[in-house]
Structure 1
Amino acid sequence: MAVVKPFRGVRPNPELAHKVAALPYDVMNREEAKKMAEGNPYSYLHVSRSEIDLDDSVNPYDKIVYEKANETLKRFKAEGIMIQDDKPVYYIYRQIMDGRPQTGIVACSSIDEYVDNTIKKHEFTRPVKEEDRINHFDYCNADTEPVFFAYRSKAEIQELIYNWIENHKPVYDFKSVDGIDHILWVIDEEEVINAIEENFKTVDYLYIADGHHRTASAAKVGLKRREQNPNYKGDEEFNFLMTVIFPDEELLIMDYNRVIQDLNGLSSEEFLAKISDKFTVEEAQGTEPYKPEARHTFGMFLDGKWYKLTAKSEIIDETDMVERLDVAILQKNLLHPVLGIENPRTDKRIDFVGGIRGLKELERRTQVDMKVAFALYPPSMEELFAIADVGEVMPPKSTWFEPKLASGLFVHELE
């Protein structure tokens, strides 16, 4: 059973929504965030990346940064830049990228279901990354950014959502600077609210699609508040975390590609000979980048040429749902044994390029700071679900979701 409840969201004044909305905190560095918010005092980056309003010498994890975020969020409310709904509601959040919509419910999910694994994970988290958002949420007394959840689509929930869209006007409808349409409806009728809540109780599991660290951080802040309030009843806001929950059928996982700094001491000829043991290597036809069209095929850019790599059957274990993923096949049979990338999480010789950047970005990187690039075929939502269902995790940097959720369109206060 999935616990999904409405909440009193703090959200932008409709006239300012397009100015408040920002990219998630973790898709840019400090310098990029400062540039994005330049000349826009309403940008939510002043909350999510509050270090941009402090001297560059200030450590981004210093206490003063989190205090600044809290101060700015309070000011946004006091000045009417952001307002709070009078009663608990659900929100419908639709994004459209390149003509493809994805439409989810903005709601609160239970931290208990995160702890007991009703909310399924497919990635490991790193404590150092968790700590930053723990402090941010704790100092701000709010889930300051949502997490991206998915579920196996149910017709009854979809019908409720699309009926509401058909019969109500959105409160926000704008296009962000990156070309994504953001549309938001407020569901404020009790009958519909109750129907959504009851229908989600028939959903077996929710799945973290993107935002494992934010989810872990929000849950740990809730557990911390429980320790501070030993007589808590369970219905307090700190027992819940803010999510946007999408049906799987509307989601797109993009490729998450790799670039490597060198050939581990090999010449190009030696490298091509070595990888031919486990992959069929062919020069790609035409002048365009080679984009893999099926599982177990890879694009490789080396010395100004694109190659098609096809994994040989003897290295594919279709009985193991993790090992049969292309990211695992590439890591186990090429990146580690040939290029010496033992741990892709920590090795400084490897970098990762989200599919939204395109394959031309892989070419560019090999001309700037890298030697060889690999384009991968993305995993499916069903593969993600199947791995999470059995408590396994996917290899690092397996999934890239687009579009990213905008930050600043909704905030969930913890008390």
Structure 2
Amino acid sequence: MAKIIPFKAVRPTRAIVGLVAARPYQSYTVEERESRMDYNPYSFLHIVNPGYKYHQDIKGKERYKLVRNRYLEFKEDGVFVQDEKPSLYVYKIVNRLGQEFSGIIAASSAEDYEKNIIKKHEDTIATREKTFKSYLKTVGFNAEPVLLTYPDNETVSSIIKETQKKHAEFEFTMTYRDTHYLWKIDNEEIISQIQNEFKKMNTIYIADGHHRSASSYLLYQDEKKNNPNHNGEESYNFFMTYLIPESDLVIHEFNRLIKDLNGLTKEEFLIQLDSIYRIENRGNIPYIPSKSHHFCMYLDGEFYSLYLRKARYKMNTALDELDAELLYKTILQPILGINDLRHDNRIEYVNGRHEMITIKSSVDNGDFKIGFGMCPATIEQIKSIADEGLTMPPKSTYILPKLRSGITIYEF
């Protein structure tokens, strides 16, 4: 059974929440970050990039301590205020395409992660886990929730809809034209009702935030070991999450761009490819795959459709069925010689929100030799892979919604 608890969120004041909220630090270019910090003293980027005020690039533990200092300054200056009562938070995002995402911000159990009640579908890198654990231990807060998804639940959905009829605590629009809304639930009876529904769920899944989940779990292990009076209710036993129903998730694919043909001529490459795919030249007409195991390929100014010859590929697990794995096992690794999808600099990824024309232009301008497009994974595939204890290749899914930092903060 999944355990969630309310918490006393630290939040920006209503008047400036839109100025505080920021995308994840790594998603900005250096120029974008500096521009935002130059003209917006309230941006959460000032907290996570504390060296900006000293015109220095500060790293490691020294940076973590300064992040903590900047955060405390924001609290001292009244930019952040902590709620008086533990609450759950209904949160809605409406993006510029009109897609809506509604869910609940809560604190989820690190023990649930340990017991595989919270399941993952991606591998994490141990060094990144440990680095972020050290960061969390020093700064003492989560500023961006991990995105979790749960089976659609009528009771929870009804509570969310009723809550959204009330006046929102926040309503603001970002420069990307996403509008954000937040409502607070501090009624103990309603909170208990929501918690009871989650207790009925045997499994919930990480949609986005695998490294943050793993790092929070490592922190929980450390603090538990070092606390002789550990009782399981301390704040370090939990981490901040945004839980949304499976039907609200929007899953895009990541398409692949490759810089060369691994020493093969175009003709040699196509002959090798023919042994496992039916190939059709589509000329200059973009081909958009409409079903699993069909791919688009762009090479030498022409689009191709690729249909898997299923007799040549055995599918024994849920992972074998995944198009990103299929592409890797049949083309990228054996023909194009790409073994390490995470670190090989011959491959790059383009999320599926961009049209195939992006792949075409990247190849046409000479930066890449060949590009591949595919269908997005489904939530059923993601769950099946997680249920079998398997992990997807890097950059298999681009999942919406994408969350902002600094809107709710969980202290531990």
8 Å Cα contact 1:24/1:404 also seen in 2: no
Task: Give the unaligned 5+ runs of structure 2.
Answer: none
- Match of residue 410, structure 1, among 380, 401, 408: 408
Asked if 1:25 is matched to 2:25, the reply is yes
Change (3 A) 1:232 1:180: same
**Corresponding residue for residue 335 of structure 1:** 332
**Corresponding residue for residue 121 of structure 2:** 122
AA matched with 2:358: E
Matches of 1:368 and 1:34 in 2, distance apart?
Answer: 31
Q: CA RMSD in A?
A: 1.8
Shift of 1:57: 4.7
8 Å Cα contact 1:315/1:329 also seen in 2: no
Shift of 1:36: 4.2
8 Å Cα contact 2:130/2:218 also seen in 1: no
**Corresponding residue for residue 264 of structure 2:** 266
Asked if 1:159 is matched to 2:158, the reply is yes
AA matched with 1:293: S
Matches of 2:184 and 2:405 in 1, distance apart?
Answer: 17
Task: Give the unaligned 5+ runs of structure 1.
Answer: none
SS for the counterpart of 2:164 is helix
Could you state the TM-score of these two structures normalised by the residue count of structure 1?
Answer: 0.94
Asked if 1:347 is matched to 2:344, the reply is yes
- Match of residue 70, structure 2, among 62, 72, 79: 72
8 Å Cα contact 1:93/1:106 also seen in 2: yes
Identity, in percent, stands at 35
Asked if 1:374 is matched to 2:372, the reply is yes
AA matched with 2:65: E
Matches of 1:131 and 1:44 in 2, distance apart?
Answer: 23
Change (3 A) 1:7 1:372: same
Change (3 A) 1:52 1:382: farther
Change (3 A) 1:53 1:376: farther
Matches of 2:386 and 2:27 in 1, distance apart?
Answer: 24
Matches of 2:241 and 2:309 in 1, distance apart?
Answer: 41
Shift of 1:316: 4.1
Shift of 1:318: 4.2
Shift of 1:91: 0.5
**Corresponding residue for residue 132 of structure 1:** 131
Shift of 1:286: 5.7
- Match of residue 291, structure 1, among 288, 293, 296: 288
**Corresponding residue for residue 235 of structure 2:** 237
**Corresponding residue for residue 326 of structure 1:** 323
8 Å Cα contact 1:33/1:49 also seen in 2: no
8 Å Cα contact 2:298/2:359 also seen in 1: yes
Deviations 1:241-263 (A, max 9, x none): 10001100111110111111111
Matches of 1:35 and 1:229 in 2, distance apart?
Answer: 44
- Across the two proteins, how many residue pairs are aligned to each other? 410
Within 5 A, what are the aligned runs for 1:173-188? 173-188=171-186
AA matched with 1:2: A
8 Å Cα contact 2:143/2:407 also seen in 1: no
8 Å Cα contact 1:137/1:144 also seen in 2: no
**Corresponding residue for residue 277 of structure 2:** 279
Within 5 A, what are the aligned runs for 1:59-98? 60=59, 62-97=60-95, 98=97
- Match of residue 356, structure 2, among 355, 359, 365: 359
Within 5 A, what are the aligned runs for 1:193-272? 193-272=191-270
Shift of 1:352: 1.4
Could you state the TM-score of these two structures normalised by the residue count of structure 2?
Answer: 0.95
